[in-house]
Amino acid sequence: MTKTQYYTATTIDGYIADEHNSLDWLFEADDGRDSPFASFFEQVGAFAMGATTYEWVFDHEKLGEQPEKWTSYYGDVPSWVFTHRSLPPLQGSTVHFVQGDVRPVHEAMRAAAGDRNIWITGGGELAASFADAGLLDELILGVAPVTLGAGAPLLPRRLTSARLTLTDVERVGPFAYLTYAVAPPT
């Protein structure tokens, strides 16, 4: 059964990026040797991200100069970028730029994913929109041994314990991976 999953790294104090939308803190904490991301991504049939996440990846990976990097990371897995502004396209990719309600986009993502999962990669506001619509099934949080004190929040919404059930805990290198089932809003 296809799941919609918000899989992300977060700091102990609940931020997914610093106040400059940088992930440098993550690369300092993660040497990449033990990361479960590759096995996670094998199960992904479609994914979505917000404009800020896309811009960070585009700039950080210099995709304007080397667009083939996108395919080397994500293959031909279709992706949707939620944005209200014009963003640079990636030649040869399966990136779709969209805006508005997540529900119709989720339907398109589900159709594209087939029997594989849907990954919400970031940001927190986008993941929260899927949770608000009752479309988020799971949170998978890689908690890094870092605090930032400020930045982009993991989920800028209140999700009470009535909606979250801890289903797995795993230690991977310096990270604690917490997996929660997410119930729809009542």
Q: Is the peptide bond before 123 cis (omega within 30 degrees of 0)?
A: yes
Single-letter amino acid, residue 27: F
Q: How many CB atoms lie within 10 A of CB 1?
A: 5
Check residue 73 and give its pLDDT: 93
Q: What is the pLDDT of residues 86-145, one digit of tens each?
A: 999 998 889 999 999 999 999 999 999 999 999 999 899 999 999 999 999 999 999 999
- Which sequence spans correspond to the domains of the chain? 4-182
Per-residue pLDDT band at 32 (split at 50, 70, 90): low
3-class secondary-structure state, position 70: helix
Q: How far apart are CA 126 and CA 55, in angstroms?
A: 15
Whole-prediction pTM: 0.95
Query: What does CATH list as the number for 4-182?
Result: 3.40.430.10
Contact between 171 and 142 under an 8 Å Cβ cutoff? The reply is no
Q: What does pLDDT average to over the chain? A: 95
Q: How far apart are CA 120 and CA 64, in angstroms?
A: 23
Beta strand segments in the chain, E: 4-11, 15-17, 44-50, 79-82, 95-98, 117-122, 138-144, 152-153, 164-172, 175-182
Check residue 27 and give its pLDDT: 87
Q: What is the pLDDT of residues 106-121, one digit of tens each?
A: 999 999 999 999 999 9
